[in-house]
Amino acid sequence: MTITLAVTEVSKASFITILIKNQADLSHEMLQPYQKILSQKLEDKDNGITIFYEADRIIAVVALKVNTHIETGIVHEEARVRGGNICKRINYEKSAHAVVVRGSDSVSKGELLAFTEGIALANYQFLKYKSDKKQNALTNVALMDAEISPAEIDELNNIITANQIARDLGNEPVVSLNAVDLGDFIVKMSHEIGFKADILNKSQIEALRMGGLLGVNAGSSVPPTFSILEYKPDNAKNVKPLIFVGKGVTYDTGGYSIKTGPGMPGMKMDMSGAAAVVGTFYAIVKNKLPVYCIGLIPATDNRINSNALVPDDIITMHSGATVEVLNTDAEGRLILGDALSYAKKFQPELVIDLATLTGAAAAITGALGGALMGTDTKYRPTLMACGNETYERLWEIPYWREYADMLKSDIADLKNIGGAVGGSATAGKFLEHFTDYPWLHLDIAGPAILKDDEPYKLKGASGVGVRLLYAFTKKFAELN
């Protein structure tokens, strides 16, 4: 689906959506025949969708709430949700093209863009393996609005595509998207849109002594990869790079600490952090943000054979630290530890990692947001503000220094689990061990994998992190 600026008269469209907020909006010429009923709905505070069928078109009137004392992020999210709902109606009516207009300036430009974003996000489908591909009818949404520029439309289209890339990667089964396939995808994308990609193979990973990545991979017949993405535009505002690190476990069985029945399905999406980094790079490069960025993606599946790690094994990480592996299902932190250690060579301004890391974080946030930890204080408020605006929200969980003590091992430098208390915090402290730079960790185990459909998201991979990190990178450019 594409978003465009309307080039024809709005009155000629077959499906028209008009956004309103108050009685004054009912003076819009297309709403005059329906003023009485719409006026009553507004008086009754019936903020919803009203459909009017005319001879040659459908008019959908969407009433947004008047939110004078509520933060912008919540206002825009309401518009996004309404956009998701209207998308379903457009497809129900089998309309290929729709036009969106504002009743008046009572509806902000931000609300209009968020509403349209909701339509586009809701129109996503993953039909690759369906024999009967019942594709949505909607292919184009046109905005008729003098305040919206072509550049803003292009930016939004690129963000939507970036989110869809992340969702496609997350929804792809490991039989067709293993670590090598992921590296190939990244190389292909780099050629198409213009950034540098270097995919390290197993022998190169061995030369770097990445014992975490190699250890998790030991039970697999598919070799690991370590992808290095780099975008360095001539007009970059930063000298030191902004680095994104994504967990790329293409399938997680749990290893010999094997997951039980209901814990296994969906583990193809355990590489959602990696998918978010790939999608974010797409949006940043396509929209030509003036930021020097690097992406690091350690990738492998976590399977079982006679060579696989077992509890009690000790591995040596890229940093030289030794780790007593007490749970092979705590594998994400092992591959991320190597990547975070490798990031030191770039002397980064900031490193942000994303990972579906712990059920403990998901128990705290559910699908409503991600858990935030780390050592950076300079950029943390900006990242959280971007989370509130995009509604890919973050919540800081307790991250006291005592959690690090829970990782002390009797026979190695540290162990890979800390016990029953503070599971997400001890995982974060494990990762912190491999950093010596400003760093933030996003545990996205809750929002990355959706069990039910939501207004503008579908069950499965959500692509969470792409819109958040893009918004943050844009702000990062302004701060540097």
Known catalytic residues?
259, 333
Kindly state the tokens that stand for 227.
């992808």
Bridge partners of residue 63, in order along the sequence: 20
What CA–CA distance (Å, rounded) separates 270 from 191? 26
| Three-state DSSP class for residue 133 | coil
Nearest to 245 by CA among 209, 220, 287, 212: 212
For 286-348, give the DSSP string: HTT-S--EEEEEEEEEE--STTS--TT-EEE-TTS-EEE-S-TT--HHHHHHHHHHHGGGG--
Query: CA–CA separation, 115 vs 102, rounded Å?
Result: 11
Q: Are strands 58-63 and 2-5 parallel, antiparallel or unpaired?
A: unpaired
Task: Compute φ and ψ for 72, nearest 5 degrees.
Answer: -55, -40
Helix (H) or strand (E) holding 97: strand 97-102
Tokens of 207: 């030369």
Q: Which residues of 356-385 are buried (b: 16+ CB within 10 A; e: fewer)?
A: bbbebbbebbebebbbbbbbbeebbeebbb
Q: What is the largest CA-CA distance in the chain?
A: 79
**E-state strands within 370-469:** 370-374, 394-396, 414-415, 439-443, 449-450, 460-461
Return all residues near 329 (Cβ < 8 A) that are at least 6 apart. 252, 254, 255, 257, 258, 259, 302
